[in-house]
Amino acid sequence: MFLFGNKRARTQKSAELRSVSWLHSFSNRYVVAKLVACFVALLVLMVAVKAWETPFPYRLGQRPAVGVIAQTDFRKVNPSATRRAKEEAADAVPYVFVSDSAPLRELPSQLRAQLRQLAEAPSVEATTPELRSAFQLVIPEGTAEADIPAQQELLVERFGRLKNAVATAESLNILISEFAEFLLPLEDSGLLVGSLPDDVPAPSDRITIIFPNHTRRDVEVAAIELRAVLATDGSLGSRWSHFPALVPLREMLSNWIRSRPPAALQFIRYDPDLTREAKRKRQEETLDVFDPYIKGRELVLPGDVIDEEKLSLLQTENAALEAQATVSDRGIRIATVIALLLVVGGLNGYYLAKNEPVLVGSLGRLSVYLALIVGTIAASRLLSFDPWRMQVVPLLAAVMILAIAYNQVLAIITAFSLGLILTLSTGAGVDQFVIFTSVCAVSVILLPSVNSRSTLIIVGLWAGITYLLVSTGMGVLSNHLATNPWMESEFWWDGLRGFAWCLVAGFLVAGSLPFIESMFGIVTNISLLELSDVSHPLLQELVRRAPGTYNHSISVATIGETAAESIGANGRLVRVGAYFHDVGKMLKPQYFIENMMLGAESRHDHLAPAMSTLIIIGHVKDGVDLARQHNLPKSLIDFIEQHHGTTLVEYFYRAATKQAGEHPENKTEVEESSFRYPGPKPQSRELGVMMLSDAVESASRTLSEPTPARIESLVHDITMKRLLDGQFEECGLTLSEINRIEESLVKSLTAIYHGRIKYPEQKTA
């Protein structure tokens, strides 16, 4: 009972400690901010993959091995039938004419002028031929000689009627007034002289007239022709009896109207723009013609190529299925997608938490990583559809960026997750997932480092070759047709297209390398090669102002690079970081011993230890400021800022302690924290190597006889001092790596201070 009871107590206490630990984590605002970033990334990722929709898996050129069966009843627009229906509807639209009543209002004044000429003429023969023709005052052609006298009498009688009708000004005004009122129906009906105008594209029985008051009227062409209008049952011919002054002159006035030139009677004009607009509107109003499809109908036969027509049919069926999905259906799908993303994200997160403390420890780095994942999925899914189908470009580019910015293991794990999510969100098969994984694996394997931009292009080339080979192999293995797959153009086209897109991804990453370095705060070997040039303005200024510091930096770079490479760290980064780590000393070079002339008095002799410490520590801040002014990358600024960590400026601390002991009456305690560098401690393995290399190189110069044993003892003492001081707590160095660094530094310093044979002096004769 005692054992069991004690065990329960221990278990309960352990659970309480765990709960307190979790509560403490959630009370940390940085932890909460990171969780919020992950939650936002999850939400955006759900939108990017459209978690509420079923993915559409079909693409042009695919050959479904088992065919495709309709999962629901639906209907699809018949393009050819719809086009014919719209064309027929457009053809049925009447031509549009615009009414213009200005010529109509001119007719009464024209009639008045000609009637005045008749009133002034003493006889028919005294009038002009045009007047006689207009008012039927001529003998018709072909009249027999026997009938000519009767026709002449008729002409005289007509002439007399006209003269009587306009004998006075009052009678003329009445006649013209009635004539103007007589023509009014033409303003609402229009008038055509003969057939349709020449600018009308084709004959038509009906037209649409738009009047000045914006009203529209469809009229029969035959009903508004001049002949029909003046007929007994026409719009004008049926009105003669309503105008007493016009009745005696009916035939002559009718003939006068017919004799007018076409322009004088052009009351409507054809408008092609309005006609086209009316036809277009009628086409839009015409309903589409649909073909019905019932559930179970075979949409694509087994082995058939999906062409544009079949793809459109499958898209219509998919849209019908989505339209029929209920809220519960969509909820189940969203929950499934969330579960999948949580599983994949959880596995990734576990790896990051265990193996990538630098990434997880920074909210900014974590946010950039999450944004890259979400952006990759969104871009890949968007570009996965026809005609581009270039989803491999963002995927491969993202994986290459991660391999450059972080490491190969993180890149390949992320590539697996991205490929899985992309495959499921686009409805692709296992073969596509195999292709994605293979291409990403090859690109990561070939990217241990980036020594030149051509490296990225070569990686893209090999990734493209892998895509072509794997795509071809998967196509052969999944071929269920009796035909030879090697003879199918689609079989090769997909692989060649993937090859081209992989090459594009290589060029894309190569071109955006400066942006990648800036966004992730890294430096590639390409940039390091450029920065390692000793002609850099900052290094040239260091040579001029502080040559001793420059020589020290060169020595640190030499031994540091070798030490970094001994543990698999980035030796080139350590070398370039060492070049710049002490640039802050150039502002006060004479306060640092390596720049003092031999035998010269030290400037620190006249300063208090605390003031000297401030000057010594100040070279870190000065170096950071100079580096930022010269736009050095963040990775190199870290070398300047962290190469001393939070170590103690031991010489001046001891001097201050000694002074305090000699003057106890001052009662001032020497605080050790005031004599420490502000830090931070080294945050990477390369920075840890840099700290040791800098310390042992400086200390080795104090050895009067730098024998191998003394060098080994010195390096070991400094290493243990830094280790016990906790300077390596945050850089990720293991004890075995520290031991290998120590061995490398001993070997390098021994080589630098190797002994030489003393040659005897030559005696003179």
Phi-psi label, residue 53: left if phi above 0, alpha if psi -120 to 50, beta otherwise:
beta
Give me the helix-helix angle, 250-258 and 102-120, nearest 10°. 120
Beta strands in 380-472 (DSSP E): none
Question: Tokens standing for 550?
Answer: 């420059």
Cβ–Cβ < 8 Å for 677, 643: no
Predicted confidence (pLDDT) at residue 4 exceeds the cutoff of 90: no
pLDDT of residue 453: 83
Q: What whole-number distance in Å separates Cα of residue 477 and Cα of residue 498?
A: 18
In 3D, which of 674, 566, 535, 651 has the Cα closest to residue 604? 651
Most confident range (mean pLDDT) of 11-25, 296-310, 530-544 is 530-544
Residue 36 in this model has a pLDDT that exceeds 80:
yes
pLDDT given for residue 222 in this prediction? 83
Alpha carbons 106 and 104: distance in angstroms, whole number: 5
Q: Does the pLDDT of residue 481 top 60, yes or no? A: no
Q: Which residue type is seen at 468? A: L
Tabulate helix, strand, coil % of the chain (nearest 5).
65, 5, 30
pLDDT of 657 over the 80 cut: yes
453 versus 625: the higher-pLDDT residue is 625
Residue 449 — very low, low, confident or very high, per pLDDT cuts 50/70/90?
A: confident
Backbone angles phi, psi at 96, to 5 degrees: -100, 130
| Amino acid 23: pLDDT | 46
pLDDT at 622: 95
Mean pLDDT computed over 673-695: 93
For the chain, the distance separating the N- and C-terminal CA atoms, rounded to the nearest angstrom, is 104
Rg of the chain over Cα atoms, rounded to whole angstroms, equals 50
Q: Tokens for 155, please give them.
A: 């002409």
Average of per-residue pLDDT across 73-86: 90
Nearest to 505 by CA among 450, 459, 453: 459
Whole-angstrom distance, CA of residue 230 vs CA of residue 753: 127
Q: How far apart are CA 379 and CA 195, in angstroms?
A: 62
Model confidence over 549-573: pLDDT tens digits?
999 999 999 999 999 999 999 999 9
User: Which positions ≥6 away from 646 have C-beta within 8 Å?
Assistant: 676, 677, 678, 679, 680, 681, 725, 727
The domains found in the chain, sorted by start residue, are 2-54+327-520 (no CATH), 95-282 (no CATH), 525-752 (1.10.3210)
CB atoms within 10 A of CB 718: 19
Question: Do 564 and 571 form a contact (C-beta atoms < 8 A)?
Answer: yes
Of the listed ranges 377-381, 383-387, 440-444, 488-492, the one predicted with least confidence: 488-492
Span 615-639, average pLDDT: 93
pLDDT category of residue 312 using cuts at 50, 70 and 90: confident
Q: How far apart are CA 582 and CA 314, in angstroms?
A: 67
- Look at 3 and 21; give whichever has higher pLDDT: 21
pLDDT at 196 over 80: no
Name the maximum alpha-carbon separation found in the chain: 171
Give the pLDDT of residue 480.
47
pLDDT score of 15:
46
Helix 489-511 and helix 513-520, axial crossing angle in degrees, nearest 10? 60
Q: With residue 268 as reference, give the H or E element that holds it.
A: strand 268-270
For residue 555, give both structure tokens: 């020595």
Residue found by looking up tokens 């899985």 in the block: 420
Would the pLDDT of 95 be above 80?
yes
> 363-380, pLDDT tens digit by residue?
888 999 999 999 999 999
State residue 482's pLDDT score: 41
pLDDT in tens, 222-275: 888 888 888 888 888 888 888 998 888 888 888 898 888 887 887 888 888 999
Name the nearest CA neighbour of 689 among 599, 580, 571. 571
Mean pLDDT for the chain?
86
SS3 209: strand
Token pair of 186 as six digits: 């033409």
- Which residues, at least 6 apart from 740, have a Cβ–Cβ distance to it below 8 Å? 566, 567
Structure tokens at 113: 């002028």
| Closest by Cα among 380, 313, 321, 428 to 57 | 428
Number of separate helices (H) and strands (E) present in the chain: 31, 8
| Predicted pLDDT of residue 5 | 41
CA distances to 14, 20, 32, 123, 354 from 17, rounded to whole Å, are 5, 5, 20, 133, 21
Chain segment 279-304, per-residue pLDDT in tens: 999 999 999 999 899 998 988 888 78
b/e burial code for range 61-84 (CB count within 10 A of at least 16 → b) = bbbbeeebebeeebebeeeeebee
Hey, what amino acid is at 725?
A: D
Band the pLDDT of 117: cuts 50, 70, 90: confident
Beta-strand (E) ranges in 111-223?
206-210, 216-220
Whether the CB-CB separation of 420 and 344 falls below 8 Å is answered with: yes
Angle between helices 513-520 and 363-382 (to 10 degrees): 140
In the predicted structure, residue 656 carries a pLDDT above the cut 90: no
Reported confidence tier of residue 19, pLDDT bands at 50, 70, 90 = very low
What pTM value is reported for the model? 0.66
Report DSSP state, residue 243: -
- Helical packing angle, 430-445 and 453-477, nearest 10°: 150
Segment 94-113 shows an average pLDDT of 88
